[in-house]
Amino acid sequence: MYYIVTGAAGFIGSNLVKALNERGENNIIAVDNLRNAGKFRNLADCEIADYIDKDDFLRKLQEGFFDGLVSAIFHQGACSDTMETDGRYMMANNYQYTLELLNYCQNEEVPFLYASSASVYGSGSVFKESREFEAPLNVYAYSKFLFDQVLRRRWHKRNAQIVGLRYFNVYGTREQHKGRMASVAFHFFNQYRAEGKVKLFEGCDGYANGGQLRDFVSVEDAVKVNMYFLDNPQKSGIFNLGTGQAQSFNDVAVATINTLRNVGGRNALSLAELQQQGLIEYIPFPEALRGKYQSYTQADIGALRGSGYDEPFLNVEQGVARYVGQMLKTAG
């Protein structure tokens, strides 16, 4: 029997493969698109049974190649570029592909754990898994939203576990391939090491410079939640996956810089001190993002807690410090 991870060479997908390995599971089919060849590095320290291109995998699935051989599917593969303007590509890749996997899992009675997104909430201020709070701002968010809607319509007909996880702002190891789509913690780390300062957006939507608030969640916690549902196949639903506590971009910058200062034997500085010394710089807010940007997110994790998941989440200070340490180790 195999575990199948789509988007396996990507950020969250590769962390899930590694987590399965740590449980002693090596019968893993890694599914991805290696057009970005550098992503292979995310799997170089993992044990898998096979790698299959995403298009080849879907064809094999439809032909019945894997019938009776699948323990669960972790569907993490998607185009996550919120600036993508090709709507046909986005809907085929994110919506239709996910629908095909759902249909297969239901027909074969296979647990299906898939990546949704907090982007479905748009510019709203309430982040609860309910239709009245959902208003996507771009086609990426719409592709995620529409699948969740279809799932709700079919909910009463399900015959196997289905778990949709609405990821908030996930950061952590194995995201280096994402370029501009990597987390701000990743960019701040590299900016500070290269230039001795970090750059944040100026304020927008009534927020001060660097004061926009997001629910930043460590990939370590994202993996733990996935493993929790894998271990509890009787639990299904669409769940927010965040810490439940919004923190500012300034908080991430302060945590990144101070962790690096500490490694260099220097004392920690406050936000005001970092600003005064020019270690934090604010740049104009991009016009292309106006009206498409979430200046505030904070997961309502009541449903997740209600499912029985009671593990604490790392806050920015804890999670970013650990991540910076991991990046330093990788960088040598």
Please report the pLDDT score of residue 294 as a whole number.
79
Please report the pLDDT score of residue 81 as a whole number.
67
Q: Residue 218, by phi and psi: left (phi above 0), alpha (psi -120 to 50) or beta? A: beta
Residue-by-residue DSSP string for 262-287: HHTT-----HHHHHHTTSEEEEPPPG
Per DSSP, 296 falls in state B
pTM: 0.94
pLDDT in tens, 118-137: 999 988 899 999 999 999 98
Q: Which residues are catalytic?
A: 140, 178
Are 141 and 82 in contact by the 8 Å Cβ rule? The answer is: yes
Distance CA 113, CA 236 (A): 9
Q: Residue 7, by phi and psi: left (phi above 0), alpha (psi -120 to 50) or beta? A: left
Distance CA 152, CA 46 (A): 35
Distance CA 257, CA 113 (A): 36
pLDDT in tens, 102-116: 999 999 999 999 999
Distance CA 265, CA 145 (A): 47
Cα-based distances in Å from 243 to 136, 218, 319:
21, 9, 11
Mean pLDDT per 10-residue section of the chain, whose length is 332 residues = 97 98 98 92 97 96 95 89 73 90 97 96 93 92 95 94 98 94 96 96 89 97 98 98 98 98 94 96 87 86 98 98 95 78
Backbone phi and psi for residue 77, each to the nearest 5 degrees, phi listed first: -70, 135
Please report the pLDDT score of residue 92 as a whole number.
83
Convert 89-111 to b/e letters by CB count within 10 Å (16 or more is b).
ebbebbbebbeebbebbbebebb
Residues of the chain with pLDDT > 70, as a percent, come to 98
Chain centroid to CA 24: 24
Which residues neighbour 137 within 8 Å (Cβ) at sequence distance 6 or greater? Answer: 119, 122, 123, 291, 292, 293, 294
pLDDT in tens, 250-271: 999 999 999 999 998 999 999 9
Please report the pLDDT score of residue 90 as a whole number.
80
Structure tokens at 244: 């439940």
